[in-house]
A = this chain, B = another copy of it.
Amino acid sequence: MANPTAAMLVIGDEILSGRTRDSNLHFLAGELTRAGIDLVEARVVGDTHDQIVTAVRALSTAVDHVFTSGGIGPTHDDITADAVAAALETPITKRADAMALLQAHYDRQGVPFNEARQRMARIPDGATLIDNPISVAPGFILGNVHVMAGVPTIFEAMVASVLPLLTGGAPLMSQSLRVLRGEGEIAADFGALAAEFPDLSMGSYPFTLNGAYGTNLVIRGTDPARLNEAMVRLTRLFG
């Protein structure tokens, strides 16, 4: 049976302007691979309502699970919650459960729960809250869309709390062989091997070492026996 599929939507002008280097995609990719969920696409869009709506609609119909990062804070450029609600045609209000969480948090800190902070309680009707153990403001799950914070520590904590809720498939495993030959030298035999194992994915990643060409050959798949079979063949070819 095929693994469930996923897509990620990174939201933020700061990524597209080059101010900030996104690290959430790489983190999520590794976690999904371990969980047996195939990440098939990622997109990065700016803090623009129409761009977010279009991307959420396209991705949420194309894959089993969508994960977003960014744009759920208290400032005017944090428009993700409203855009996701619009994309899925769901009403959104300051919800009582989120208001209560945040009110208690700011009361403890002794700072006013002002209008801007109340923005973070805007949660679509019917959405499930995602716990934020770091700064309280929750993410949420609406339909198959998981809306999470962009700050990496918070994003990672939110991923840790939602992944166990999802039914994964067989984890994608990989084995690799490092050979001190250029890609062009091994490509024919490697391609022929890949054609013999259509159930596995084989990729080659070149590197240079002291001016010489080398290649990391990577085989990925979900069946350990097939993976081992292919690695035996690969090692016989190039080991």
Q: Does A84 contact B (CB under 8 A)?
A: no
What's the dominant secondary structure at chain A's contact region?
mixed
Question: Which of B21, B111, B116 lies in contact with A26, CB distance below 8 A?
Answer: B21
Contacts of A30 in B (CB 8 A): 18
Contacts of A73 in B (CB 8 A): 183, 187, 204, 206
Known: A76-B190, A174-B17. A203 touches B115 (CB 8 A): no
Contact with B along A36-74 (1 / 0, CB 8 A): 001111111111000100000000000000000000011
Q: Does A178 contact B (CB under 8 A)?
A: no
Number of interface residues of A (CB under 8 A): 67
Contacts of A26 in B (CB 8 A): 18, 21-22
How far apart sit A21 and B21, CA to CA, in the bound complex (Å)? 11
